[in-house]
Amino acid sequence: MFLIKISTMKTYDTIIIGAGAAGLTAARIASARGRRTAVLDMGAAPARKVAISGGGRCNITNAAAARDRYFGENPDFVRGALSRVSPNDILEWMQGHNLPYIQKTPGQYFCAAGAQSVVDALVHDANGADILLNTYVDGVKQDGNKFIIETNRGNLTSQSVIVASGGTSFDAIGVSDIGLTIAKSFGHKIIPVRPALCAIELKIFPTEFAGISIPVEIRIGKNSISDNLLFTHFGIGGPAVYRATVRNTENDWAINLLPDIDIVEWLRSARKTDGRRKLTSVLSQKLPGRIAKWAAAGIDKNIADINDSTIRTISSKLSSITVPVKDIKYHGLQSAEIIRGGVATNDISSKTMESKLCQNLFFAGEVMDIAGDLGGFNLHWAWASGFVAGQNA
């Protein structure tokens, strides 16, 4: 798996930059086509993000993988690859490797044998390719009908190149922006990168809420997300917030801490049925005590003594919490699961993953401006786009 220093350039049919989910999938497909294939990766181990995905259990795919769960400047781009690789295809691949899978929630599939088992299967399937680890790519140049890949261990040549170098989140496992650099050198537009599927820093809520997790609804423009929110010492996180951060950012967020409840009608009814109970006690029936106390805002009265005006104020405080776009501060690429942004897809063929600007240059996975929702959608995009690139490179 290791490339030694070479004095003459070794030639391949296809060179893949990045040994992650997309790169190894592309290597499997390209090798099966009889292509002499090499996979170059800067790390000491392949598929490092796969190995830690899903808390070490690897959220391999999602039955709901479709256009509406992907985001970017041109999310329609995913349609071609998703039509070629379905969630059932991934589950069949798992079965072919005797890897058991479970559903954490309906349609959300995890590897019951652990993420490392998925990595081992990916490497096994790519064993027709040379997997060259600890290999840093400095750049890619075109020389006639071939590419020259410049690395820290010497230069390689190939007829085609697949850039599958991933995003720049989770830098602790070793990441690089070389994919963006290569794309830019061939004239591709780069959509500015920001963290996604991450927590945000926010000062709207008291710090004593830290550690509380509750189901909420977050509305962003016409989109609505219903999931759990986790209060942190610096702001908010949890699945609802992670999913919100992958959406577009031109609209303010509106958070409802009591979704599916008509708060005004509930509290009005409580005046009749629980009139002698304190307001905070009534609110605690549906909210954690610390949040109930915050919502009551120091009102020490029985619910029977609370007028409609106060009830409406409490309802608004709980159900219409505005988070202005200008106040959203993503917690950073170090902890983000993915990025928004990357190589713009307008100049990439959605049918082949080939660059429209440079023949035989392909892209796969997170390096492109495609970001999936939380719950296995990003790994599915890696499998799908890697498959298509491997078929065509």
Q: Residue 109 maps to which CATH number?
A: 3.50.50.60
Does residue 2 lie within any of the structural domains? no
pLDDT exceeds cutoff 90 at 79: yes
CA torsion through residues 49, 54, 60, 61, sign: negative
pLDDT single digits (tens) 143-186:
999 999 999 999 999 999 999 999 988 777 778 899 999 999 99
Same domain, 187 and 208: no
Same domain, 221 and 358: no
Which range marks the domain in which residue 280 is found? 263-321
Q: Are residues 186 and 221 in the same domain?
A: no
Is the domain of 277 the same as that of 352?
no
Burial 109-131 (b: 16+ CB within 10 A, else e): bbbebbbebbbbbbbebbeebbb
- Residues 209 and 284 grouped into a single domain: no
Q: Quick check: is 5 in a domain?
A: no
Residue 277 within any structural domain of the chain: yes
In a domain, 336, yes or no: no
Pick the last residue of a domain from 311, 330, 349.
330
Spatial contact of 271 and 282, defined as CB atoms under 8 Å apart: no
DSSP 37: E
What are residue 37's DSSP bridge partners?
Answer: 14
230 within some domain: yes
Per the domain annotation, does 22 fall within a domain?
Answer: yes
- Separation of first and last alpha carbons in the chain: 22
| pLDDT given at position 10 | 87
Q: What pLDDT, in 10s, does the model give residues 1-14?
A: 443 344 456 899 99
Residue 3 lies in a domain: no
The residue out of 288, 309, 330 marking a domain boundary is: 330
Give pLDDT tens digits for 280-324: 999 999 999 999 999 999 999 999 999 999 999 999 999 999 999
pLDDT score for 2: 42
| Same-domain status, 271 and 348 | no
Per the structure, the count of domains in the chain is 3
Report the share of the chain in percent with pLDDT over 90.
92
For residues 246 and 267, membership in a common domain is answered with no
Residue 1 covered by a domain: no
Same domain, 247 and 205: yes
- CATH number of the domain bearing residue 277: 1.10.8.260
Residue in this structure with the two tokens 């295809």, named with its chain if needed: 89
* Confidence band, pLDDT 50/70/90 cuts, at residue 332: confident
What CATH number is attached to the domain comprising 217? 2.40.30.10
- Mean pLDDT for all residues in the chain: 95
When pLDDT is averaged across residues 67-89 and rounded to a whole number, the result is 97
* Pair 119, 90 in one domain: yes
Question: Model pTM greater than 0.85?
Answer: yes
Asked if 352 and 285 sit in the same domain, the reply is no
DSSP letters of 290-358? HHHHHHHTT--SBGGG--HHHHHHHHHHHH-EEE-GGG-EE--TTT-SEEEEEE-GGGB-TTT-BBSSS
pLDDT for the residue numbered 9: 67
Same domain? 176 vs 42: yes
- If asked whether residues 154 and 267 sit together in one domain, one would say no
